[in-house]
Structure 1
Amino acid sequence: MLKQIIGVVLAVVLGVGGAWFVAGFLSPDETLSQAPLPLPKGGDFTLQAAQGAVSLSDFQGKVVVLYFGYTACPDICPTSMATLKAALAQLTPAELSQTQGLFVSVDPERDTLEHIQRYVGYFHPSLIGVSGSQAELLEITRRYNAFYRKVEVPGSAMAYTIDHSAILYVIDKDGQVREQVQHAVPPAELAAAIRRHL
């Protein structure tokens, strides 16, 4: 019994000591949790919108804010789109004219092109919603280091949900990914990221 107690005490002491040791040698900027995500390769793509084919290169000369999500998403996508809406509201008319929001639905099984456009239009009239085949979406999301997967929900009216990453990609006027912004940042941070590349 005494050996067990001593073993527990030693484990606690070593654990605290190890944490102190690591904290002492790593500054906050060097911790893995706070390290910036590496920028993805990204690149041009063409998907379908309600008004026809849309390519990223169509917006050459504008800063594009790109997001991968789906319209039935219960929380993350509405939060992301609300952040984008509020960020766009902080831009001047001249800045807004040089900015394009692009929502890519990763749920083509359920999201019609017309429904996607109605969804994004609720947040801002300038936003464009697009989607494509699963093969197209997988190829594009891989290039952007984005993630999504279908999750069956037996007994649910929705039948399935989609787990997905929640990054707003800020793409410069030449089509290069320049920043990755978390979906729930203060809108002023996203507006500042857009302005940096106008």
Structure 2
Amino acid sequence: MNKGLPIGLVLLLAGALTGVLFFWQPQPETTKPPAVSPAIAEAPKGGDFVLNSYKGAVDTRTLRGQVLIIYFGYTWCPDVCPTSLGFLSAALDELTADELRQVRPLFISVDPGRDTLEHLKSYGEYFHPSILGITGTPDQLSRIAAQFGAAYRLVKQASATDYVVDHSADLYLVDRQGHLYSTIRHGTQPSEILTAIRTALNAH
């Protein structure tokens, strides 16, 4: 049988509760939301550029009507570039001949000190005959990378290659009108790359 709490304890708890309710006042918040929201970085917009290839100057303004597939890397890259270009090549192989004529894959080397135009030719074509290797001066490359939101930096190392280049590894699709259409993240499977290319080809 429940005999309940002793009457003395009940009176003590009631008195404590009355004191809390009588004397306690809520404290004002000490943390205020910021008066100004943090600035949001402007999204990259892409843009036209002129770089060099073994065929001569490549001016993207002359490529209107084609979908450009742009990748920033370098031929000494040990693993990331071969993986990315291998995935791209697998997607390009699935395009019809007519579709392939309407795309221009561009491999932009951010290592102009070592990547000659002839070497870029053989490197790009090793992965797919339609991939054209291009490069330019360090100032040109820095500006173009910033346009597309790409990033890279040279990292010194004690080896035969002297340095490596840390770089982002996304693909950038530019539509027929020369606008940055979409960014394909590194590691995207060939089937998804293929879908993205076809979507850009069919965009109006």
TM-score (norm: length of structure 2): 0.76
Is contact 1:71-1:105 (8 Å) kept? yes
Q: What secondary structure does 1:71 align onto?
A: coil
Question: Could you tell me which of 135, 140, 151 is aligned with 2:139?
Answer: 135
Number of residue equivalences: 161
Give the aligned partner of residue 119 of structure 1: 123
Q: Distance in 1 between matches of 2:165 and 2:47?
A: 24
Give the aligned partner of residue 37 of structure 2: none
Is 1:177 the equivalent of 2:177?
no
Is 1:63 the equivalent of 2:36?
no
Give the aligned partner of residue 109 of structure 1: 113
Bigger Rg, structure 1 or 2: 2
Unpaired runs of 5+ in structure 2?
1-41
AA aligned opposite 2:69:
V
Q: Distance in 1 between matches of 2:56 and 2:104?
A: 17
Give the aligned partner of residue 158 of structure 1: 161
Unpaired runs of 5+ in structure 1?
1-37
Is 1:196 the equivalent of 2:192?
no
Give the aligned partner of residue 94 of structure 2: 90
AA aligned opposite 2:165:
I
Q: What secondary structure does 1:196 align onto?
A: helix
Give the aligned partner of residue 58 of structure 2: 54
Q: CA deviation at 1:58?
A: 2.3
TM-score (norm: length of structure 1): 0.79
Is contact 1:170-1:179 (8 Å) kept? yes
Runs of 4+ residues deviating >2 angstroms: none
Cα deviation 1:96-125 (Å, max 9, x = unaligned): 111110000000011001101110000111
Q: What secondary structure does 2:200 align onto?
A: coil
Q: Distance in 2 between matches of 1:127 and 1:105?
A: 12
Q: Distance in 2 between matches of 1:158 and 1:171?
A: 33
CA RMSD of aligned residues (A): 1.3
Q: Distance in 1 between matches of 2:197 and 2:43?
A: 16
Q: Distance in 2 between matches of 1:124 and 1:107?
A: 20
Q: CA deviation at 1:191?
A: 0.7
